[in-house]
Structure 1
Amino acid sequence: MERMIKKIRHLRGEITPPADKSISHRSVMFASLAKGQSRIKNFLWAQDPINSLNAMKSLGVEIEIMDSKEIIINGKGLQSLKEPDNVIDCGNSGTTIRLLSGIVAGQPFLTVLTGDDSLRQRPMRRVIEPLRLMGSNIFGRLNDRFPPLVVKGNYLKGIKYIMPVASAQVKSAILLAGIYANGETEVIEPHKSRDHTERMLKNMGAEIQLNAITKKASKEHNNEAYSIKIKPPQDELSSIDMTIPNDFSSAAFFIAGACLVPGSEILIKNVGLNPTRTGFLDVLMQMGANIEILNVKQQGGEPVGDIVCKTSNKLKAVTVQGSLIPRLIDEFPVLCVMATQTDGKTIIKDAKELRVKESDRIKAMVTELKKMGTPIEEFEDGVIINGPCKLRGAEVYSYKDHRIAMALTIAGLIAERPTLIKEAQCVDISFPQFYELLEMLQK
């Protein structure tokens, strides 16, 4: 599907973004391992988390969909999962396949995990290696590089694993396997990645310890690593009753749009403000964006609040690197769009991980923003963008990556000629109502 985007006069109004995708995945997976009935409200009905829900059904979990607002999961405990009758299709979801590999690593049966064309090109050795160290029989295609994954469950042992790159998905896979392991499992990550897994498992009664580890100081980076330890629970995990916060990563596109489109003011309601997710906000504040946070409270073990964002003039260029990168990993594409309108040279580095997301997001944004007239340089681990520049409309490609499609849409709102986005339907992976809400704010 193609989508034509034209320059607009303003974005004004109030919106509630969709439920948090990361927490939706985890809620249905973790509640399936618990003992008792869990109630999940505000689940994200988008392709990726639905893949996780269907995967747990394939493993024998009884899940009732009450309506679009509530799911009931009747968990029967850690040892209650059953061998699936067929291959489990994870679709486009890296979160589904990686977290699920940790769950099935300790199960007494065979599981085969696959996905769509894009997912079958995403790296899996980063998950396979630590799970093998724990004792799992897990194998991937092309010498363990890619899916499909074949997992023959086994008795697991706890390990200490030092992660080369901060990754919430890999960390979560190891911690989930650690629930089934004999002894303590420790994961050390170089920078703190999103911590929804730790928060939710702790609320469910898992024995988790979190500690910061101060390393040798660096002039450029905050060199504070993080240790997460987990022990297998002496009893079952407790069921949960939670309302999922709304997704900050989805809100980020509207925040950027309000900052860049003249005459704009948007109120975004009940957005998750977990500090491991809001690096994008920190960068925008450094740029001088006109943003205010209101009504902060706790919801489902996570901080949430309202965000007021207005047109921002004279944005300043910044350097984004180090420990900030894991905190804005999903916002890189729209941050690049913001950087086109800042005064000076914006540098984003230490972001090599972005080359192995749903697409090579570094290459994708460089290629497409060049089409729109952006002075942008590509490096192995990031980009340099010289601004401000006048964007011009062009025919651009989403690479079937939802965040690329939405970021290019925001660029199109301020471009001088219409922008045609190819394969724009991929926004349904995380935000099916994206274009509908965008049109509402233009009235």
Structure 2
Amino acid sequence: PFSSLLDGDPQLRRRPMRRVTLPLRQMGAEIYDEEGHAPLRIRGGPLQGITYTMPVASAQVKSALLLAGLYADGPTIVHQPGPSRDHTERMLAAMGVEVRVAGLTVTLYPPTAPLAPLDLTVPGDFSSAAFPLVAALLVPGSRLLLKGVNLNPTRTGLLEVLREMGAKAVERAVRQEGGEPVADLEVRPLPLRATTVAGERVVRMIDEFPIFAVAATQAVGETVVRDAAELRVKEVDRIAVLVQELGKMGAVIRERPDGFVVQGATPLRGAVVDSHGDHRLAMALGVAGLLAEGETVVLGAEAIGDSYPGFVEAMQALGAGMEKSQEED
């Protein structure tokens, strides 16, 4: 066994870590946090299988426990309070691990032989595709074909909500790649109507709320998001920052303790806005700028590189009036 230290930037240090360190300790792991946050100190050692009920649905925590379970001395059973992304289960099953899913319970049995290698194509990430998708829904005259998008149902809550709001996104060339459902999405603008997002669907679109908020500004009526307090412990407090920055552009949006309320449809105006170092906020504000009257400047847009370093170039290739400043280059 050897010792490791896991640390990160100030944003990562703000995120709660005991949701993962506590169950790992129950498995016998020697892992220590600092008042519930990073840095984490870990020393290798034997692990035991456990049955764990997660207080919050989280694919990251579930994946950590399942991966640890590969080296445990017995089955690892995870009970979820709601659905979360299942990419880890799909990948491990494809590699020969016995993974059983019964409703919201996932059971992993430690493998008795080496995992089988995979030859696969990684499908396009839906969270990244969400930004050009919403832009095409909102910018008049658009028509977009997004190729090879992962449509895993644990990830497509945003797509379902947008369709209920009146959006049309046609799935073409539906297929399987790497054990995941994949399709090309054809999108064009249509009027949107307000909606309410709550309950289990929140988990399936937790990373898409920044761009969803932009779409909600252009939907007729009052859009309500609740049961989404998890947004407050992302890279930043995404609820507070969304309300603050979209408000600068004229959006009628207000906070709830566990979400936000948007009144639409509202014309947006260009403004100087700040990503607060959050990659998804930066891209969402960039898309909002495409709808706004006048120029929008997104400060801290270099954060986009955290998940989609080619975002600006991809949007430019689609004809978007978007460019990087000299400071970003």
- The reply to whether TM is greater than 0.5 is yes
State the 1:442 CA deviation: 1.4
Superposed CA RMSD in Å reads 1.0
State the 1:195 CA deviation: 0.3
The within-5 A match list for 1:301-340 is 301-313=179-191, 315-340=192-217
Q: How far apart are the structure 1 equivalents of 2:77 and 2:168?
A: 41
Match for 1:361: what amino acid?
R
What's the counterpart of residue 157 of structure 1? 48
What's the counterpart of residue 380 of structure 1? 257
What's the counterpart of residue 197 of structure 1? 88
Is 1:289 aligned to 2:180, yes or no?
Answer: no
State the 1:243 CA deviation: 1.1
What's the counterpart of residue 124 of structure 2? 246
State the 1:406 CA deviation: 0.4
The within-5 A match list for 1:400-411 is 400-411=277-288
Q: How far apart are the structure 2 equivalents of 1:241 and 1:399?
A: 39
What's the counterpart of residue 99 of structure 2? 208
Q: What whole-Å deviation, never above 9, does each CA across 1:413-441 have from its counterpart, x for those lacking one?
A: 01112111001011111111111111121
State the 1:298 CA deviation: 0.4
What's the counterpart of residue 236 of structure 2? 359
Q: What whole-Å deviation, never above 9, does each CA across 1:115-167 have from its counterpart, x for those lacking one?
A: 112112211111100001111110012x2x11110001221111111111110
Q: What whole-Å deviation, never above 9, does each CA across 1:62-102 have from its counterpart, x for those lacking one?
A: xxxxxxxxxxxxxxxxxxxxxxxxxxxxxxxxxxxxxxxxx
Aligned length: 320
Match for 1:228: what amino acid?
V
What's the counterpart of residue 174 of structure 1? 65
Is 1:129 aligned to 2:22, yes or no?
Answer: yes
| Identity between Structure 1 and Structure 2 (%) | 52
SS of the equivalent of 2:175 reads: strand
Q: How far apart are the structure 2 equivalents of 1:183 and 1:292?
A: 45
SS of the equivalent of 1:364 reads: helix
Q: How far apart are the structure 1 equivalents of 2:16 and 2:240?
A: 17
Match for 2:112: what amino acid?
Q
The within-5 A match list for 1:26-425 is 108-141=1-34, 143=35, 145-212=36-103, 226-313=104-191, 315-425=192-302
SS of the equivalent of 2:45 reads: coil
Runs of 4+ more than 2 Å apart: none
SS of the equivalent of 1:438 reads: helix
What's the counterpart of residue 323 of structure 2? none
The within-5 A match list for 1:17-28 is none
Q: How far apart are the structure 1 equivalents of 2:200 and 2:95?
A: 28
Q: How far apart are the structure 1 equivalents of 2:304 and 2:246?
A: 19
**Structure ranking higher on relative contact order (CA contacts 8 Å, 6+ apart):** 1
Q: How far apart are the structure 1 equivalents of 2:114 and 2:65?
A: 19
Q: What whole-Å deviation, never above 9, does each CA across 1:4-41 have from its counterpart, x for those lacking one?
A: xxxxxxxxxxxxxxxxxxxxxxxxxxxxxxxxxxxxxx
Q: How far apart are the structure 1 equivalents of 2:314 and 2:180?
A: 25
Q: What whole-Å deviation, never above 9, does each CA across 1:188-208 have from its counterpart, x for those lacking one?
A: 111110100000001111111
Match for 2:19: what amino acid?
R
SS of the equivalent of 1:242 reads: coil
Q: How far apart are the structure 2 equivalents of 1:308 and 1:302?
A: 19
State the 1:323 CA deviation: 0.9
Q: How far apart are the structure 1 equivalents of 2:268 and 2:243?
A: 13
SS of the equivalent of 2:190 reads: coil
Q: How far apart are the structure 2 equivalents of 1:399 and 1:368?
A: 10
Q: How far apart are the structure 1 equivalents of 2:198 and 2:216?
A: 14
Q: How far apart are the structure 1 equivalents of 2:209 and 2:80?
A: 21
Unaligned stretches of 5+ residues in structure 1: 1-107, 213-225
Q: How far apart are the structure 2 equivalents of 1:326 and 1:282?
A: 13
State the 1:172 CA deviation: 0.4
What's the counterpart of residue 54 of structure 1? none
Match for 1:110: what amino acid?
S
SS of the equivalent of 2:164 reads: helix
Match for 1:235: what amino acid?
A
Q: How far apart are the structure 1 equivalents of 2:256 and 2:45?
A: 42
State the 1:290 CA deviation: 2.4
Q: What whole-Å deviation, never above 9, does each CA across 1:351-391 have from its counterpart, x for those lacking one?
A: 11111111111111111011111111101210011111111
Match for 1:163: what amino acid?
M
Match for 1:190: what amino acid?
P
Unaligned stretches of 5+ residues in structure 2: 321-329
